[in-house]
């Protein structure tokens, strides 16, 4: 593992690392924020952040303003990339498929299956790597935006014992029932809807999967709300399962990082409740 860069930030460090991933069969980069406590040698909890379509590991670290809050709360931030990378990795010309759009699934269809194993990369390889090399205490929560919100929800539902809480900003909550999901799932997973449902938060909830404490924020002025995100379906499903959850429709907010920056403090404080108990 190679340290690419490190900068001082709120008395902690924002770092970027490069490593060869056995799971993805390519070289990957990820970002990591270590709060002051971690630099002092104390083991700290962590929040995994999953970004959305077209993003890399650097969007959240540079735009969300999360480090100030993470430093105060004593929480590390683990920020993976959104897909495998490299000249040998299969790609597509569209923004919503291929590089930058891995959808956090384990692809089963060629040529995507050779590299696009993002679910296993994050839940197994990357988290094992981080716990081996950094002062983390094993307590984890997970959050994300849009495609990353989808990823956070499915990982929390499928790996219920691994994550103490989950939150999302404008998640693609029911990808089996929206254009983004249809395109990604048919390409990565084929035509078997049972495989689609294994990576669909609404369907996993309907199947009986447990959910850790949940916080979701959705902007009312989000231009993807009507066609892609299925916020109302998620809300109905959560209420039917009686999960410990807050689903908030935020008036006038859109799909951008301005929205994330406005509420990231709420989300990290929400996670701190469960990470520091």
- The predicted-structure confidence for 211-262, as pLDDT tens digits, reads as follows 999 999 999 999 999 999 999 999 999 999 999 999 999 999 999 999 999 9
Instruction: Quote the pLDDT of residue 89.
Output: 97
Tell me phi and psi for residue 245, to 5 degrees: -150, 150
Q: One of 57, 200, 217, 222 is an active-site residue; which one?
A: 222
Q: How many CB atoms are located within 10 Å of the residue 147 CB?
A: 30
pLDDT band at 132 (very low <50, low <70, confident <90, very high): very high
CA distance 3 to 108: 32
pTM over cut 0.95: yes
pLDDT tens digits, residue range 142-199?
Answer: 999 999 999 999 999 999 999 999 999 999 999 999 999 999 999 999 999 999 999 9
Look at residue 277 and tell me whether its pLDDT is greater than 80. Answer: no
The stretch 16-26 carries a mean pLDDT of: 98
**Per-residue pLDDT for 110 more than 90?**
yes
> 109 with 196: CB under 8 angstroms?
no
Of residues 145, 174, 255, 271, which has the active-site annotation? 255
- At 221 the pLDDT is 98
Q: Is the pLDDT of residue 136 over 90?
A: yes
Q: Which long-range contacts (CB under 8 A, 24 or more apart) does 128-136 make?
A: 129/1, 129/19, 130/32, 130/46, 130/78, 133/1, 134/32, 134/34, 134/38, 134/76, 135/34, 135/38, 135/41, 135/42, 135/43, 135/44, 136/38, 136/43, 136/44, 136/45, 136/46, 136/76
Summarised one tens digit per residue, pLDDT across range 9-18 is 999 999 999 9
Compute the average pLDDT of residues 51-63: 97
Q: 140 pLDDT exceeds 80?
A: yes
- The residue-averaged pLDDT of 89-110 equals 97
What is the percent of the chain where pLDDT is above 70? 100
What integer is the mean pLDDT of 52-70? 97
Give the C-alpha separation, 184 to 134, whole Å.
34
In angstroms, rounded to a whole number, what is the distance separating the alpha carbons of residues 16 and 3?
6
In angstroms, the Cα distances linking 67 to 10, 33, 169, 216 are: 7, 7, 17, 20
Residue 243 near residue 211, CB atoms below 8 Å: yes
- 146 classed as catalytic: yes
Report whether pLDDT(128) > 80: yes
Q: Which residues of 189-220 are buried (b: 16+ CB within 10 A; e: fewer)?
A: beeeeebbbbbbbbbbbeeeeebbbbbbbbbe
Tell me which of 31, 61, 146, 165 is the catalytic residue.
146
Q: Domains of the chain, with CATH numbers?
A: 2-275 (3.40.50.1820)
């Amino acid at each position: 593992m190679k340290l690419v860069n490190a900068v001082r930030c709120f008395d902690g460090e924002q770092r970027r690392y490069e490593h060869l991933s056995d799971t993805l069969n390519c070289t990957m980069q990820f970002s990591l924020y270590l709060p002051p406590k971690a630099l002092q040698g104390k083991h700290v909890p962590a929040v995994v952040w999953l970004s959305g379509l077209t993003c890399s590991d650097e969007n959240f670290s540079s735009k969300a303003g999360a480090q100030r809050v993470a430093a105060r709360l004593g929480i590390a931030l683990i920020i993976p990339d959104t897909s495998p990378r490299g000249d040998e990795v299969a790609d597509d010309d569209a923004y919503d498929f291929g590089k930058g759009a891995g959808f956090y699934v384990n692809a089963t269809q060629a040529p995507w299956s050779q590299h696009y194993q993002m679910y296993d990369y994050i839940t197994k390889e990357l988290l094992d790597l981080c716990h081996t090399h950094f002062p983390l205490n094993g307590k984890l929560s997970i959050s994300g935006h849009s495609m990353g919100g989808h990823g956070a929800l499915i990982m929390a539902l499928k790996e219920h014992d691994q994550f103490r809480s989950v939150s999302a900003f404008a998640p693609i909550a029911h990808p089996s029932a929206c254009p983004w999901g249809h395109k990604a799932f048919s390409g990565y997973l084929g035509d078997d809807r049972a495989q689609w449902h294994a990576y669909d938060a609404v369907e996993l909830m309907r199947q009986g999967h447990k959910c850790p404490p949940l916080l979701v924020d959705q902007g009312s002025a989000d231009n993807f709300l009507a066609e892609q995100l299925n916020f109302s379906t998620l809300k109905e499903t959560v209420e039917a399962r009686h999960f410990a959850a807050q689903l908030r429709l935020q008036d006038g907010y859109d799909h951008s990082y301005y929205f994330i920056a406005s509420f990231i403090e709420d989300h990290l404080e929400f996670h701190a409740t469960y990470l520091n108990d």
